[in-house]
Every structure is written in structure tokens, then in C-alpha cells.
A and B are shown apart, each in its own frame.
Chain A
Amino acid sequence: LINQSSSSSFTADEEFDELCFEFGLELDEITSEKDIISKEKGEEKAKGASDVVLYKIDVPANRYDLLCLEGLVRGLQVFKERINVPRYEKIIPAEGEGQKLIITEQTVQIRPHAVAAVLRNITFTKERYESFIDLQEKLHQNICRKRALVAIGTHDLDTISGPFTYTAKAPSEIKFKPLNQSQEYTASQIMDLYRNDSHLRHYLSLIENKPRYPVIYDSNGVVLSMPPIINGDHTKISLNTRNVFIECTGTDITKAKIVLDIIVTMFSEYCEKPFTIEAAEVVYPNGKTHIYPELAYRKEKVKPEVINKKIGISETPSNLAKLLTRMCLKSHVIGNGNLLEVEIPPTRADVIHACDIIEDAAIAYGYNNIQMVIPKTYTIANQLPLNKLSELLRLDLAAAGFTEALTFALCSQEDIADKLGMDMSATNAVRIANPKTAEFQVARTTLLPGLLKTIAANRKMPLPLKLFEISDIVLKDPNTDVGARNYRHLCAIYYNKSPGFEIIHGLLDRIMQVLEVPPNEENGYTIKATEGSAFFPGRCAEVFAKGQSIGKLGVLHPDVITKFELTMPCSALEINIEPFV
């Protein structure tokens, strides 16, 4: 989330950086329009561009009120106690004078929810106008989930007349001039028109294949918008617009209400009567009505001692009230002085629990002012047995002259199947649905490809190359609650001018020796000759221990070696070490 602002109310860059840090914002970059163009297109193109300092600020994902310059500056100024928290007032017009938005039942199939409000006598400047549009776009990307959940439409109220109707019609029945176009189009034509538009084409699929598209009309049949695609040109807002009608439509009513609240609270600052918002009435298909925006002020009662205890400070209740008020959560002490009443404004939809209030108190106090203490918890330390065993084996394998490798757990399908002479269906592998590249198609079912690829990347190293890895592989398992599980494998390979089967075999013997597993069939380990698709015929054996087959060892088949772009003989050992935990 990036917000560009030219912040003139604060002094030096350093001071602003410090303020952002304390407040919980990240000052990403200090740049200017000139710098940006310079970086993207070269210094030539940047000549003549603005030198005004721009701050790029990253805003936490749950703070919709800080997404525009207005909200950000407001929040910071309240934090610094330069202004008081503004009170947002809803003005309900006299009977018959307010705007109405009538929802018809056809919308239920597609995007059933709608809310609306009016900003009266607002004054736009170029910066305010751009900020207004910018906020809508950010909300669209963020809480509206790319318009899928909510779409915002803002209209010049003086170009239309209510009551407004939100309905859904067949695409051929909808015809209007879309924003910034010169002629009228039907809805189906509009779909085609924007199919290649870099900005709008992503939203077409939200309604394209439905039998009816949502559309909002005024009382004269003028189209306000066809959400979530585009507004009509007729109602477009200019710098001279004085009255704005805002509608938010979509599939999630909670988010629509939050979005509406954010837009009106942020920009009502520029109305003739600042921070006042004119309410509109929404009429539902069943005849019920509701006034929007809700602008709900919620009151939550919190005990000051709880706040102090959870943070680890000891402030007086009135100090805590002051701290919270600095965070736009107006508070005062009630009762016998042992209770705080906190008022949560409509701009802070992120405050849903007392712990959110506690965090804000801590931020206002200053995290770095809190005293650090060690918990008095007495516990006994423990290492997971499987990890302990892995660590011990790693030391012993290194002592045997092998070098540890750490490789990726994800690989391509060929790595675990074709290149090892196996069929994909026999691997029982876990497959990824959305890999970015072919290198991350499956989770590895064997450590061998990782080690072989490591050797291929290190051909310049002196021979023999002796590598090992003790790490997890993943296999499907219908008995687990998720359907797959990890197995801890040990894999070692020896790459040299001669295959070195005796070396790999010796390593296995050494591993069993340190695990104290005797070399006999009844209560120890044994190896039996077998065939393996990745191994040279007649040079492959299966390892049995603890009553089960735990892996294989042998000389690798020349096909395997070639497929991994290697040229010399190679022997390998791979076993599951979990039975030895």
C-alpha cells in the first residue's frame, strides 16, 4: 500500500521519519516526481518535472483511514495533539428532500447490496480531486478486493435527479456513454470496448457471463454507472462539482458500509460545513428502508488497569484517556475513576476488540518507552527427538568426509519422475496448483535430484564430490488431517571417476554403527539386491531395518547421470531415518 503525499505541515525529513516510526507507518522513500521519472525513463524526460518533495509511505493493511492524504494528515495531527478529533455528523434531510436509492429484486442474483450518501457544497481543487479519485482506487484494490466485493461510484449530483434505481438488466438493454467516451454503447459493446484496457479488463469477468448486469439509473433514465465496470460520462465529477452523490454496491454489506464511511469522513472536510455528511435513504425490494451512511460511533468500556497490565506500564486513568484520544479514540474516565469509556469512530473499523484499544494506547505511549522485562515463566527446554537425531547424524556424516547441502524442497516434475526413470503417477507426489515457474511444480519425494543439481552447479570443484543432506521430503498420505506428510530422509552421493559403491556402502555401515543398529537380519539392518529405475542394473540394493524397507543404495544409472547434466559415475544412498528416532 503506497501513499504519495507532499507533507508541508511537518519540518525536517528526519523528524517526519521518526514520527512515522512511532506511529507505525513506514517511510519507504523520499523522492520527487523528477526522481521517479528519472529512474523510469531517464534524466532527459525528467526535465521540467516537479521537484516538490514526495514521501512514499506504507500504510498497515487494516488502516483504511490512512489511505489518503487527508486521513493521514488528520491522524498524525491528532497524534501530535495539534488538532482535536473531528466529529463526523450525519445530517438527515427533511421528509421528501433527501436522496433515495431504490434497490430492485433483480440485483439479488448478482450484486445485491448498495449504500449511498451525499457530500453537500464541497469545494474541489486539483489536489483534492486527485486525492478523491486516488482513494477510491486504493479502496478498490484493498478492502474491495479489486472491486469484487464492493465497487464505488461518485457522481455530480447536480447533473442528475433522484430518486435513483439500482437494478440489473440484460446487457442488450443497457445503453449509455461511458466515462470519457464520445458515444453511447450497449453493455455488451462496453465489454468489448474495454477488453484490452490495461486497467478495466480485469473487472469484466465479475459480471460478464451473468444474464443481467447491474446498473444505476436516475429518475430520467440517465445511467449513473454500471458497477463494477465504469461510471457514465454524464455524471462525471469536475473541479467545479459542488454536490457529490456516492454509491457503493457489491456482495459484502459490511465492507460496503465501511468503504462509504471512509470516503465521506475523509472528504467531508471540504464541505461548506466541514465534517457533515448528508444522509441518503436506501429502499430494499421488500419495502424496508435504511439510512446511510451509518457513521456508527461505538462505545467500548475498558478498565485502565487492564490496559496497564497488558502493556506493562502504569499510567493514571486520565493519562490513558489522553493517550487514546491522541489515536482518534476519544476517551474519558467514568465511574469511580476505574473505568474508561472509549468512543470508536467510523474511521476506525479496524478496532474490533479491546486488544485493538490496548495496542493504540501502547503506540501513543511509545513502544520504546516501555520497560523491557523477562517473563518469570519456568519451563524446561527440549529439542524435538527427530531434530536431535538429524543434528547428530549431520555431524557424523561430515566427520566421514561428506559435505552438507541445503537444497530446495520444490522441484519440477521431471526431477522426481522422468529423470529418475519413473512414471509420475507412481511417485505419490504433492503437486502445486499455481507455480510461477516449472521449477516449483511439485514437492520433492526424494532428496536425490537436489543433490545431483548441486553437483551439476559445482562441476569445477575438485573430485571426488561427496555431498549429503538430511531433510524432509513430502508424500501424499490419506491418513493425515491434511492429506500429506513429511518424512525425514538422509541422502548421500559420491561423484568421481569411479562410482565408489564401496564408499557409499561403507557410509551406510558407519551410519548404522553410530545408530547402534547391528548388521544382522533379526534385530538390525541388512541389504538385499534389488532393481531400481534410477540405478545401474545389478548394482542396486534395498536397505531393511526395524522390520521395514527404509531406502536404497547403489550406483546410479548412466541415463540418470546424463539427464542431470553430469558426466561421471555416481553412487547414492537414500534412507528414511524416522524409524530410528
Chain B
Amino acid sequence: FTEMPTDNFVESSFWNFDALFQPQQHPARDQHDTFFLLDPAEAPQLPPGYSSKVKKVHSQGGYGSQGYRYDWKVEEARKNLLRTHTTSASARALFQLAQQEKFSPVKYFSIDRVFRNESLDATHLAEFHQVEGVVADRGLTLGHLMGTLKQFFTKLGISQLRFKPAYNPYTEPSMEVFSYHEGLKKWVEVGNSGVFRP
């Protein structure tokens, strides 16, 4: 796996949400889950051709999808925030990959900080780290995703795994990964995953 550049805590709503098919009226974009910026409040540049494609898919559909059918606003996409997940960096990396003349399979990873507007308590911080991995190739299946996750967690010493259907705006199918915790004597969630929507 090759490391992705993630050295930008400040991200635009475009890369953090819109490019990941998270609708503009989604609760997670609310004031109380995301740190929005006062200064710089708006991203000066969005990739022009790409942002109009994103607009179309949200408002009318595309690539086989019905879309969300609402008015997509570019002002909303320009709003700057502190990234809520490193998937925004993955989106940028995949965009770069798409600019290549010829497609080559890749495996990317990153381990970096993310920010969520939460009150601090025993199990929640406003800043924490995420480990992210992406595999892009032809003919990948859900079985491949499960196999990769199994290998990854086994290396961490976690081998008893179960997968559960979940929902992310940008992946379908999506799975939450659960592992049996000997100390707590119950199944706990150890990760989230999915196949990116076409």
C-alpha cells in the first residue's frame, strides 16, 4: 500500500462531503457535528470540470443513478471545514488517479488526524486519528474487501471478525466490521468499510 498525502487539516465541503455523494442537507453537515471555519471561510478554488459533474449527479443523477434530486448549491460546497474523515484525502487521491492517461491498479493508505465537533468524554475526543485504506482495480468484489480487512485485522491481532450491513453515503455495499472482545465479552465495532458507489 502506498501512503497518500493527507497534510491538509483544512478541507472544503466539496472534497469532504459533496465529492463523496453526501447530500447538502445531510445532518452530519450540521453545525454541531462539523467544525466550520470562520477564516478562511470559503475555498477559493474548486476543480471546475469535476465540480459540475458532482453537481449533476447530486441534482439529476448520472452513471446509472437517480441522484438525490435537489438543488445543489456551489456556495455550500465552498464552505471550509476541518476534515471529518480522511476519506476526503482518498477522494483527492482517486481524482488524481483518474487524471492519469492509463489506469493502473493502486492500493493507498493513510493514518492521520480528523476533527469532529463533539464534547469530550470518556469515549469521545474532538480530534482523533483514522486509518484508511483504498484498493482500486478491475474486478474487485465484496469478498475481496472482506479478505483484505481480515488480513489487516489479523496482523493487529484481531482475528475473530463478523461483517454487518451498514450505510455510508459514498459506499454501497457498506459493512461495519465487528470483532469479539475477550475482555468485554461482547462484539465491538472495529471498523467501517464499503465499495465506492459508481
Contacts and interface: CB of A to CB of B under 8 A. Distances in A.
A, B bound: yes
Interface of A: 21-24, 60-63, 142, 145, 149, 252, 254-255, 309-313, 352-356, 358-359, 362-363, 367-368, 370-375, 377-384, 386-387, 408-410, 429-436, 440, 443, 472, 474, 476, 478, 480-486, 488
B162 interface: yes
A60 B197 CA distance: 17
A440 B10 contact: no
A371 B143 contact: yes
Contacts of A386: 5, 7
B91 interface: no
B123 interface: no
A381 B167 contact: no
B150 interface: yes
Nearest to A59: B167
A481 B175 contact: no
B10 A484 contact: yes
Nearest to B36: A433
B2 A382 contact: yes
A474 B81 CA distance: 13
B107 A379 contact: yes
Report which residue of A410, A432, A480 has the largest number of chain B beta carbons within 10 angstroms of its beta carbon: A432
A149 B66 CA distance: 20
B43 interface: yes
Report which residue of A362, A380, A485, A488 has the largest number of chain B beta carbons within 10 angstroms of its beta carbon: A362
Contacts of B121: none
A450 to B, nearest CB: 11
Contacts of A387: 3
Contacts of A409: 9, 113, 115, 127
A375 B64 contact: no
B173 A362 contact: yes
A433 B41 contact: yes
B176 to A, nearest CB: 9
Across the A-B interface, the 7 shortest Cβ-Cβ residue pairs = A312-B143, A24-B165, A312-B141, A483-B40, A359-B173, A60-B167, A372-B147
Given A312-B143, A483-B42, A381 B1 contact: yes
Contacts of A432: 35-38, 82
B74 interface: no
Interface in B1-41: 1-5, 7-12, 25, 27, 31-32, 35-41
Report which residue of B9, B35, B70, B80 has the largest number of chain A beta carbons within 10 angstroms of its beta carbon: B9
Contacts of B158: none
B173 A358 contact: yes
Contact of A478 (B7, B9, B44, B61): B44
A431 B105 CA distance: 39
9 contacts: A21-B162, A310-B141, A362-B165, A374-B144, A379-B106, A432-B36, A482-B45, A483-B43, A485-B10
Nearest to B198: A355
A381 B106 CA distance: 10
Contacts of A481: 12, 43-47
Contact of B66 (A352, A374, A410): A352
A208 to B, nearest CB: 19
Contacts of B68: 254, 352
B174 interface: yes
A486 B7 CA distance: 6
B8 A383 contact: no
A370 B144 CA distance: 10
Nearest to B138: A377
B54 interface: no
A353 B143 contact: no
Contacts of B47: 481
Contact of A472 (B4, B7, B65, B80): B7
A238 B192 CA distance: 44
B141 A483 contact: no
A484 B80 contact: yes
Given A367-B163, A367-B175, A436-B118, 11 more contacts: A22-B164, A362-B142, A375-B137, A375-B147, A375-B148, A382-B3, A384-B4, A386-B5, A472-B113, A476-B39, A478-B44
B140 to A, nearest CB: 6
Nearest to B139: A309
Nearest to A351: B66
A433 B10 CA distance: 13
A66 to B, nearest CB: 11
B1 A379 contact: yes
Contact of A434 (B3, B36, B137, B198): B36
Contact of B173 (A355, A435, A482): A355
A252 B23 CA distance: 13
B170 to A, nearest CB: 11
B88 to A, nearest CB: 10
A577 to B, nearest CB: 12
Report which residue of B106, B163, B174 has the largest number of chain A beta carbons within 10 angstroms of its beta carbon: B163
B150 A433 contact: no
Nearest to B69: A254
B198 A353 contact: yes
A355 B197 contact: yes
B67 interface: yes
Contact of B172 (A356, A440, A488): A356
B189 to A, nearest CB: 9
B113 to A, nearest CB: 6
Nearest to B174: A359
Nearest to B65: A353
Nearest to A407: B127
B8 A486 contact: yes
A310 B198 CA distance: 12
Contact of A374 (B38, B64, B118, B148): B148
B162 A368 contact: yes
A24 B166 contact: yes
Contacts of B8: 480, 482, 484-486
B139 A384 contact: no
Contacts of B44: 478, 481-483
A484 B40 CA distance: 7
B117 interface: yes
Interface string B73-97: 0000000101000000000000000
A471 B174 CA distance: 32
Interface in B38-64: 38-47, 61, 63-64
